[in-house]
Amino acid sequence: MAAKKKIPELMKIIVDSLREKKIENLRVLDVTRLVSYTDYLVIGTGNNGPHIQALADAAAGLIKVPNQPGVRIEKDAVSSWVLIDADDFIVHLFQPEARKFYKLEQLWEDAADVEV
């Protein structure tokens, strides 16, 4: 029987911070066996651009990546989707319509849900 994988402490802290800031439909997916570039995807929905930006700022403020000048963040002009790369996990923050459009949960349907 395989040992249970330890969830990164930083990911727990970020998930708690996102919950405090009223993120909706939060899911954490274990993609360890599906991709080589990360272990988890944290996916959540914000109400609008300013809400997404506040969620992203909160998450990015908690991440310190060794030997990097700053946190790796990608986003579109209106913050309909923000991606934050924290190495062991990637945070995806969406406005409702963008989340429906990109359907990450369907794309990663073979990934196991993780309770954080």
Alpha-carbon distance values, 88 to 1, 41, 99, 100, 105 (Å):
24, 9, 22, 25, 18
Cβ atoms of 78 and 30 within 8 Å: the answer is no
* pLDDT tens per residue, range 70-103: 678 898 888 899 999 998 999 999 999 999 999 9
CATH of domain 9-106: 3.30.460.10
Tell the residue number behind the tokens 């963040």, with chain if given: 73
Which letter does DSSP use for residue 8 in this model? Answer: P
The per-residue pLDDT for 78 is: 83
* pLDDT tens per residue, range 91-100: 999 999 999 9
pTM: 0.90
> What residues form DSSP beta bridges with 41?
29, 90
pLDDT-based confidence at residue 32 (cuts at 50, 70, 90): very high
Q: Spell out the domain ranges in the chain.
A: 9-106
